[in-house]
Amino acid sequence: MADSIASPTERTHRAAKRYIYAFGGGRAEGDAQMRDLLGGKGAGLAEMTIAGLPVPPGFTITTEACNAYFEAGERFPDGLWEDVTEAVTEVERETGKRFGDPASPLLVSVRSGAKFSMPGMMDTVLNLGLNERTLQGLIGLTGNERFGWDAYRRFIQMFGRIVMGIEGERFDAALDAAKEKAGARTDTDLDAAALRELSAEYNRIVREATGRDFPGDPQEQLELAIKAVFASWFGKRARDYRKFNKIPDDLGTAVNVVTMVFGNMGSDSGTGVAFTRDPNTGEKVLYGEYLTNAQGEDVVAGIRTPQKISHLQQDLPEAYAEFQQIAARLEKHYRDVQDLEFTIERGRLFMLQTRSAKRTAAAAVKIAVDMVAEGIIDRAEAVARVEPAQVDQLLRDQFDPAARRAATRLAAGLNASPGAAVGRAVFSADTAVEWVERGERVVLVRIETSPDDFHGMAVAQGILTARGGATSHAAVVARQIGKPCVAGCAELQVDYAAQQASANGVTFRQGEEISVDGSTGEVFLGALPTVSARFEDQPELQQILGWADGIRRLQVWTNADKPEEAAQARAYGAQGIGLCRTEHMFREGERLEIVRDAILVAFQATRAKERRAAGEPLGDDDRAAIERFDAAMAKLERLQQGDFEGILAAMSGLPVVIRLIDPPLHEFLPNHESLLRQVVTFEAKGTPEDDPDYVLARTLYRAAESMREQNPMLGLRGIRLGLMIPDFVKMQTRAILNAAIAVKRAGRDPRPEIMIPLVGHVNELRRTQELLEAEARAVIERAGDGIAYKFGTMIEIPRACWVADQIAELAQFFSFGTNDLTQMTFGYSRDDAEGGFLLKYVEEKILPYNPFQTLDPVIVDEMKMATDLGRRARPDLEVGICGEHGGDPESIAYCHRIGLNYVSCSPFRVPVARLAAAQAALSEAAERDR
Amino acid sequence: MADSIASPTERTHRAAKRYIYAFGGGRAEGDAQMRDLLGGKGAGLAEMTIAGLPVPPGFTITTEACNAYFEAGERFPDGLWEDVTEAVTEVERETGKRFGDPASPLLVSVRSGAKFSMPGMMDTVLNLGLNERTLQGLIGLTGNERFGWDAYRRFIQMFGRIVMGIEGERFDAALDAAKEKAGARTDTDLDAAALRELSAEYNRIVREATGRDFPGDPQEQLELAIKAVFASWFGKRARDYRKFNKIPDDLGTAVNVVTMVFGNMGSDSGTGVAFTRDPNTGEKVLYGEYLTNAQGEDVVAGIRTPQKISHLQQDLPEAYAEFQQIAARLEKHYRDVQDLEFTIERGRLFMLQTRSAKRTAAAAVKIAVDMVAEGIIDRAEAVARVEPAQVDQLLRDQFDPAARRAATRLAAGLNASPGAAVGRAVFSADTAVEWVERGERVVLVRIETSPDDFHGMAVAQGILTARGGATSHAAVVARQIGKPCVAGCAELQVDYAAQQASANGVTFRQGEEISVDGSTGEVFLGALPTVSARFEDQPELQQILGWADGIRRLQVWTNADKPEEAAQARAYGAQGIGLCRTEHMFREGERLEIVRDAILVAFQATRAKERRAAGEPLGDDDRAAIERFDAAMAKLERLQQGDFEGILAAMSGLPVVIRLIDPPLHEFLPNHESLLRQVVTFEAKGTPEDDPDYVLARTLYRAAESMREQNPMLGLRGIRLGLMIPDFVKMQTRAILNAAIAVKRAGRDPRPEIMIPLVGHVNELRRTQELLEAEARAVIERAGDGIAYKFGTMIEIPRACWVADQIAELAQFFSFGTNDLTQMTFGYSRDDAEGGFLLKYVEEKILPYNPFQTLDPVIVDEMKMATDLGRRARPDLEVGICGEHGGDPESIAYCHRIGLNYVSCSPFRVPVARLAAAQAALSEAAERDR
């Protein structure tokens, strides 16, 4: 590029910073790799030009020029304008047109184009270069006066609004006035004279608004337009978009200056957009629409109905054939489905944009599989092309999109657990069970849910709550059992007494059908039709996941408490159970009563047994407590053994990690506050002391009171509970091992792993291990039959991470409980924080994201330290994660990097995790190759 | 030593393990450095022998022999017995006496002697070597038949009980029978014939109990006695003692075999114990007692009243002179006060033991100071000689020991905060204040205390509670304000209604005087006289602490919330305030009402202000909330500014770290449960909705309900609260800086440091810093007067330790809040754990100690990581600790080692901390030199 006026120092500067990359005539200075510098659009134009595709000549001003512009205090950096002028000259040479030449005027479009597509950053300025004189040239060239004046008034309008900052309404008002005056219904009804008059009016508006004439000089127009594009980078819309999408401010935007081509020069002209394959289904057909005799904005404006792209074959067969061929070439070149813009000017095809196409989940999977079959990409690339969220989406039922649009939206809450649910509204868990038993589908509607509602949630199609956040009981349980859930729907008033609920003036009663979309948080009145999605019916998805299995290093296990869940997870490809929560078995139906019975006397019975062991005498009361406790524990043992047999059989041949009882005991009692209310009400009403209901309420209240803790999260639970009440450990050990022995005798291959929760100090684990192993030896001796089992621990207390080497001396496996680990490392109570300050923290970006959803880097550091220390003490230590993070793709990538053996997640996340684990392995390999 | 019978391999073995170290005749094979091998006693005997002191010849069997004995399955290791025999021969040669020689029998004592003195491990066996024949020799040599038979029967009794394991009562019964038969009042009334008869009876008892004759062979006696000493190492008493005192089991005990000398050979003989200085006062006088014509056990037995050691000068002037000279030599030799045992046999002095003397706190300080003056030890050693706990003791009032013995002990509870308190019992904080205002001294007696009782605790002499552990509100506050406190006195029944309390059948009413000993946990009826101890009156203590100041590297700051506390701490030598808790100022009297008023509308007002800032319209309700909130905050600001002025003035020239509001807001509201009770009672009684009490109860209940958290420890507090309600940060910033400006204008030198609690993520601190600095600039601008302040943060969240480098980019100082750090790192809620499983954990040694009292090594690791990371980012970062650990000597040693700048503790711990910090520096230097 010539450089006649730059000083020597400027030369040096400009040698380091090249601000302009031209393209045209089959040559381009940039290419597809230069997205950083040229933006996505500029890189695409250069690449297409190199590939010999018909691209109107033009040039791209780099993102560096944009940054230099701001560094210089919103002034063009030295030499930039000279280079622009020169590049324009080059385009003039290429096209044979000239800026401001009435005989053959050069018109250009000016567009922003950042590295990442940023919709809404800046509109396009078309037809730049027009003025009263060049307009005449355009009219002369096209022989179409109306076209000329229309182009001119559009240019003033667009440039005035976008570049000069004049309110668009002023131009709109003038246009409306012109139409009224002419009696015109639409813009197209205005004739050339009317448009000329309108142009004059527009010019007047510009003068009035800016105090100056509309700039007629194309050079000045160009300068102002470039500056306007630069300025748009720091416009409010662009800044907000970047903030939301975590795009850095210092990327800058490129500016593309491209020779205008006109799709509105008659019936042999046209413009359109098209995808190389159907972005909804993935089918291999050209998909898109176009209009003849139109400019780009007309396709969008909706004044005329565009034609399907296939019709172009009839309208302009040659252009269509060329386009078809170009589309195929571009798809092959970019090795992905392309989203194309084109214009046909008097039969001649011009390509204006190519970029990778957005697509639905179903299309993403089909396209990836098809492209492997077609030899375009390999399996690894196919695996990389599908987003984990798309896999999740494919496994959820969805409402039919058309029906959704037609339905009455009742309210919106939090999209707590994805999927579509339809059923009759019921307001209690018992009613839910009752109605389901008689064959109804129900949606459970509650103000909020508690563990007492579990049986109702389990049978409901979906759950709707008025209160509670993304980690309320309803949300967490719903995700766990794979039920759609809308939580925290604040607009909803639930009236249990009247058995009805209302929102926004609409009321529905028990039994009325409602539809709940857990993916969007919407609630509809009536039964919307759904589109179902079974894993078994999606061979292409299974194909992708099969390829993923060949790539990933991480195993994928599941969190499951019941045989049905285990079987479901196994069908989804789970390679083991990483977390079986025994206490969930305590909560169902009649069991809760047995558990409460045991808990009411657990401490007394344990102390009495200690005294008995020390040879001290016992009172009647103590002996009765022991008897009652032992009886309840014996019942529980039988029930738990049955449960374990089911799970171990379902997972025959695969490991099953069973966690001993974890939550504090008062979680199994009725709520302390409701008991207090009862007791105080009895008191205030002067109820006789021996009234049986009063006695029961007092007994339960006293028990709840004695077990109440100020901070239960940091209280008596997990291993602490097992050390305080050793019978829990012994009973559960017997139940697990006897179950394993029974399953083994039935010819299956049970692989139990016993996991101790909440270990902080190695001595806690040592004592528990002694207790447990003594019991295990006794079981095996009694049975006369050996059974192998592993002994391991959760790592969920920060302290445990620091002493993981000591712990690994005893534990054969670690499983990270990242929910507790996050709670304690941050000092957050998840229940309190997520509904409160944590929401604000994430909203205001004090935290980059919710650490309960994706692992925080410090938690990863702790996990890495624990893993490394643990393996130092025991090289074959098995390490996994069983917190909710185990199903989160970003967290899975962390787990891969620090070398875990497996992630364990809820059954419905298993396919997602399989894909995410493979992608983590691919990213790592890519980084290594770099 | 000759070695005639050992085989060559045995030789090798024995060359590696020498089991015997002899002493006698001015030579010894061991010395004072060999305590590990010879035990304290054996090393002392060897050292005294080398020093030329008159020590009866003998030998020590090593601790290694003891360990080898157990390794060999409770059998003497090869060669040991041969070496013993040979050593005996050597003693025989030295003394000219022989084992079993009737003409000149060798008698020995056999005693255990471990590295650390272990009282109650094994009694001494005296007179070993006696039998019917040597007894005659003894009688012949002494010419005293009664002495001979008395020695013999004593030997059978002692050996029978200690070595042969026969119940002592059987011998006692026979002795009583003999006395009855002889009509004797005391043992000494029995004549030779009666004692001979008693010896025969004792021999019979031995036969009956063991099925064999009493062993007459001195060799066998010796072998059995040595084995009995070894066995005593694993006796229950010894094991318990070691467990309690954290002494390892594998140290083993040595055995000392020493030639008997007899203090009971007439009036020219005697025996005694003495200290080289008075162990009670530290005065430089020989202190002790002796008896003429007596054996060691007679001094202890209390049958005859021993004489003061000074009387020995009249009784046996030559022996006294020699003893005095030896005592002085030993003290100088060991450079410490010695606890000596001696016997005079027919005018000849023998030294039997020397060891460092136990002493009272006062004596320890005086002796250390005196010895520096005498040139015996240097200042560093003087500082090392005083225990931190002794300093603490010297600063507490104590009950007069005689009066305590005479008083009625009412009950005993937990010694929660040391010191002696006397006053009239009152049962409410308001009564306490009222009575104190009219000039009474009171002791506040409560079932348990809450923040509402603070004003009563502050004016009371002491606090007594029936419930709550070492970290209950009562205990923690009492320690903080230096009041004696007995907590958790379970024997006490407190009846608020009747204004009385009772324990163990004794009742005291309001107004009756009681005495509370916070050092022992005892409660007495009536007013016990106290011995007061003012720091100002203890120049020697101040001297020691002055020397400590010259040695220590750590500064000692204090935790103080009020000017009086600050002044007190400064008098104690505090070099700054490391923690001033602003919220404590919120709680007193009328302030609590203002605070409650602010809290009731804080959230509403803050949201309304945000909407106002965004230009949204406000309702009347919102405007009223803002008005009410701002009014309350303005009142608080004035009050707080006054408080800060007082503290900054009192600490003029020294740093004052002021922590912004930390606890959750609901701590300032009435208890949620009591409010619920009120509301439910109103409901149940059908109280009209507009009843003003009901309205108030509902309002407060709703507020408490809306702020209630499941785990408040992990909830909305600290910096989180400041970010949710920025007015708290702004108001406190203004109050602090305006106070500093006022103090500066008054000519003092205020040095405020503003500290942000509970930071976990650097962004939290960044936002808060922006908020705070904007407010600070405004204050300084308004005042037209600059004021320097530091900005820093607590490090108390585990996550903060990992990102301390990021945090130190913003913070000029760190202060470790090790209470929270321990809670979160262990996952313990201190309030719940200490009354529950933590107690069991410490009792059962699952944890070696309570990590809330002494820093856990993992907490120290976290602190070290944070300190190192922080200093990497900011080399001059000021780092301290302000948790309760700051006053704990072991924790202070950790803080020294990881390089903190200061520890901050309650005012009353400042002197303790000064000493502990110096000792930490000395230990480190000693380790370096090693």
DSSP per-residue string spanning A549-589: HHH--SEEEEE-SSHHHHHHHHHTT--SEEEEEGGGGGSST
Determine which one of A66, A801, A882, A905 is catalytic: A882
Say how far apart CA B414 and CA B520 lie, in whole Å: 8
For residue B548, count CB atoms less than 10 angstroms from its CB and return exposed for 0-12, middle for 13-18, buried for 19 or more: buried
CB-CB under 8 Å, A826 with B825: no
Cα–Cα distances in angstroms (integers) from residue A782 to residues A286, A646, A727, A779, B532, in the given order: 72, 22, 18, 5, 68
| pLDDT number for residue A491 | 85
Quick: pLDDT tens for B530-570.
887 788 889 999 999 999 999 999 999 999 999 999 999 99
- Chain A partners within 8 Å of B680 (Cβ): 676-677, 680-681, 684
Give chain B positions within 8 Å (CB) of A758: 827
What residue type is B306 in one-letter code?
P
Q: SS3 for A621?
A: helix
What pLDDT was estimated at residue A772? 97
Q: Which residues of A, range 583-612, sit inside 8 Å of B by Cβ?
A: none
Q: Does B803 touch chain A (CB under 8 A)?
A: yes
Give CA–CA dist A411/A524, Å, rounded: 7
Q: How far is A607 from chain B (nearest CA, A)?
A: 12
Nearest residue to B626 (alpha-carbon basis) of B641, B613, B607: B607
Contact A486, A521 (CB under 8 A): yes
Q: What is the pLDDT of residue A852?
A: 92
Contact at CB, B827 and A760, closer than 8 angstroms:
yes
CB contact under 8 A, A827 and B760: yes
Is pLDDT of A753 > 90? yes
Higher-pLDDT residue of A12 and A302 is A302
In terms of C-beta density within 10 A (0-12 exposed, 13-18 middle, 19 or more buried), how is residue A840 classed? middle
Whether residue A12 is predicted with pLDDT greater than 60 in this model: the reply is no
Shortest CA distance from A713: residue in chain B: B711
Compare A705 and B916 and report the one with higher pLDDT.
Answer: B916
Chain B residues in contact with A845 (beta carbon < 8 A): 763
pLDDT tens across A585-612, in order?
A: 787 778 888 998 899 899 999 989 988 9
User: Could you tell me the two tokens for B719?
Assistant: 């910096």
Predicted local confidence at residue A302, as pLDDT: 52
Touching check for B770 and chain A: CB below 8 Å? Answer: no
Q: Quote the mean pLDDT of chain A.
A: 90
Look at residue B367 in the predicted model and tell me its pLDDT.
Answer: 97
B849 touches chain A (CB under 8 A): no
Chain B nearest-CA distance from A798, in A, is 5
% of residues, chain B, pLDDT over 90: 65
pLDDT for residue B450: 76
User: A818 or A11: whose pLDDT is higher?
Assistant: A818
Question: SS3 sequence, A527-560?
Answer: CCCEECCCHHHCHHHHHHHHHHHHHCCCEEEEEC
Distances (CA, A) of B390 to A414, B336, B370, B543: 62, 17, 17, 15
- Find chain B residues with C-beta within 8 A of A801's C-beta: none
Whether chain A has a CB inside 8 Å of the CB on B799: the answer is yes
Classify each residue of A562-585 as buried b or exposed e, where b means 16 or more C-beta atoms within 10 Å of its C-beta: bbebbbbbbebbbbbbbbbbbbbb
A575, pLDDT greater than 60: yes
Say if A710 is an interface residue toward chain B (CB within 8 Å).
yes
Chain B: give the shortest CA distance to residue A690, in Å: 19
Work out how many CB contacts closer than 8 A connect A with B.
176
In the annotation, is B905 catalytic?
no
Closest residue on chain B to A716 (Cα): B837
Place of tokens 């492209």: A371
Write down the pTM of the prediction: 0.82
- DSSP of A309-366, one letter per residue? GGGHHHH-HHHHHHHHHHHHHHHHHHTS-EEEEEEEETTEEEEEEEEEPP--HHHHHH
Here the ipTM equals 0.81
CB contact under 8 A, A680 and B685: no
Interface contact B504, partner A, CB < 8 A: no
Residue B588, C-beta contacts closer than 8 angstroms, at least 6 positions apart: B454, B455
A829 Cβ under 8 Å from any chain B Cβ = yes
Q: Kindly report which listed range (A118-122, A227-231, A353-357, A586-590) carries the lowest average pLDDT score.
A: A118-122
Predicted confidence at residue A406, as pLDDT, reads: 85
Is there a catalytic annotation at residue A489? no
Q: What confidence tens digit (pLDDT) does each residue in A460-497 have?
A: 999 999 987 665 778 767 766 678 999 888 889 999 98
Q: CA torsion sign, A901 to A907 to A909 to A912?
A: positive
Segment among A238-252, A672-686, A801-815, B547-561 with least mean pLDDT:
A238-252
Q: pLDDT under 50 in chain B at which residues?
A: 1-15
How far, CA to CA in Å, does A532 sit from each of A323, A391, A400, A420?
A: 37, 14, 9, 9
Distances A466 to A410, A411, A414, A837, B244 between C-alpha atoms, Å: 13, 10, 10, 20, 57
Sort strands A253-259 and B751-756 into parallel, antiparallel or unpaired. unpaired
Look at A271-275, A623-627, A789-793 and tell me which has the smallest mean pLDDT. Answer: A271-275
Residue A687's pLDDT is 92
Answer whether B826 touches A (CB < 8 Å): yes
Best residue in B666, B714, B844 to probe A by mutation, most A CBs within 10 Å?
Answer: B714
Token pair recorded at residue A308: 């399907």
pLDDT band at residue A418 using 50, 70 and 90 as cut-offs: confident
- Report the SS3 class of residue B486: strand
Instruction: Closest CB to B861: pick one of A716, A802, A861.
Output: A802
What are the tokens at A48?
């297409």
Please write the tens of the pLDDT for every residue from A238-259.
Answer: 777 776 566 788 899 999 999 9
Average of per-residue pLDDT across A841-870: 93
The pair of structure tokens assigned to A597 is 């019975």
Alpha carbon distance A223, B590 (integer Å): 69
How many beta carbons lie within 10 A of that of residue A320, not counting itself? 20
B370-416 pLDDT per residue, tens = 999 999 999 999 999 999 988 988 888 888 878 888 888 899 888 87
CA B907 to CA B887: how far, in whole Å? 9
Look at residue A3 and tell me whether its pLDDT is greater than 60: no
